[in-house]
Amino acid sequence: MVRPASIRINKYSGKFDPTVVSARFTAMKTIAVDQIQVAFGDLAGLENTVKTAISDKVANPLTMVQYLAFAREVWRLVRKHSGKTLVSEANISKAKWTSRGLDPNVLDIILNLFGISGIVYS
């Protein structure tokens, strides 16, 4: 059965009703806050691990921010991809950050922290 246009319009306009939107956000807020607390905890631990692993290999301490940005990017990739796709995306990310002036050997150390190997940058 095909829905008439008037029913579709009413349903669509209901999505923008402030009470409906407020109810959705209220229902999702606790879950979202719980999830982000876990994610931010993991991310803070990751950043500390990366800093410890590469601190003696980074010549310019001002580039540490960029290495941490690379680590966060790889963290997102690991959460989203796996297998050959992950390796391919990590290779693209490594090439991008190498072209921005970061040391590919230090980037490899960060990738190894995530268990990603086999990255070849040419």
More confident residue, 21 or 92: 92
Per-residue pLDDT of 60-104, as tens digits, reads 999 999 999 999 999 999 999 999 999 999 999 999 999 999 999
Question: Within its chain, how far is the Cα of 73 from the centroid?
Answer: 5
70 and 107 Cβ atoms separated by less than 8 Å:
yes
Q: What ranges do the domains of the chain cover? A: 5-113
Using alpha carbons, select from 63, 31, 62, 52 the residue that is nearest to residue 109.
Answer: 52
Can you give the pTM of this predicted structure? 0.75
- State the CATH architecture for 5-113: Up-down Bundle (1.20)
